[in-house]
Amino acid sequence: MSAQRGTAAKLLAPLDLQCIKAAGVTFAASTLERVIEERAHGDLSQAQLIRGKLSTRIGTDLRSAQPGSEAAARLKQALIAEGLWSQYLEVAIGPDAEVFTKAPILAAVGWGEHVGVRADSQWNNPEPEIVLVCDAAGNARGATLGNDVNLRDFEGRSALLLGKAKDSNASCALGPFIRLFDDHFGIDDVCGAEIRLEVTGSDGFSL
């Protein structure tokens, strides 16, 4: 692939002719952040205060709970009694996972392209993830990298706004390529992988 002089190279998304699905609140840390969004009603200024109150109590319990287990059911009842229950905890430690549409056909973008963020969102962030590529029977056949662009102010106001928070044009970035599973690379390698993300802002911000 070649690029015109003075322009950066770009690649098409390796998956763009399929509806792309995502699973939410799959880790203790991300579950806690969803609860924070909900309690802050999408207001970033309230997030840090709420985070400090919830991290110790809920965060520790979530890490030790096996979703769908009897122990998770007891934890649910305890959190309800303490007024700490959330719809996000239901899909985090309950028997049913949250699965939603991340991008329809031809809505994903590839390496080097700009992602899409709604102009009316003031609290949003990238979510670097490993994406599993599955066949028609649901069997994992390979993996790639993805950016689950997340609008926290929209989803925090109401979980019914998940479509606006997650599924917008160019809000799903994938690539640069698919690493197919073989004798030298498989699901265990994916589970043990470490993902790193660097954010650099035009104002000098770096994370």
- Sequential DSSP letters for 23-54: EES-SHHHHHHHHHHHHHTT-HHHHHHHHHHH
Any residues with CB less than 8 A from the CB of 148 and at least 6 apart, and which? 22, 102, 126, 127, 129, 166, 172
Q: Above pLDDT 90, what percent of the chain?
A: 43
pLDDT digits (tens, 9 = 90+) for 48-65: 888 887 877 777 777 778
Domain ranges of the chain: 11-23+98-196, 27-96
Banded model confidence at residue 153, pLDDT cuts 50, 70, 90: very high
pLDDT at residue 182, as a whole number: 97
Q: Which region among 71-85, 149-163, 188-202 has the lowest average model confidence (pLDDT)?
A: 71-85
Banded model confidence at residue 7, pLDDT cuts 50, 70, 90: low
pLDDT, averaged across the chain: 88
pLDDT at residue 2, as a whole number: 38
Q: How far is CA 134 from CA 19, 52, 91, 102, 193, in A?
A: 12, 38, 22, 15, 18
Instruction: Taking residues 36-42, report their average pLDDT.
Output: 89
Banded model confidence at residue 25, pLDDT cuts 50, 70, 90: confident
Instruction: Taking residues 135-162, report their average pLDDT.
Output: 92
pLDDT at residue 199, as a whole number: 86
Specify the CATH class of 11-23+98-196 in words: alpha beta
The model scores a pTM over 0.85: no
Banded model confidence at residue 154, pLDDT cuts 50, 70, 90: very high
pLDDT at residue 106, as a whole number: 93
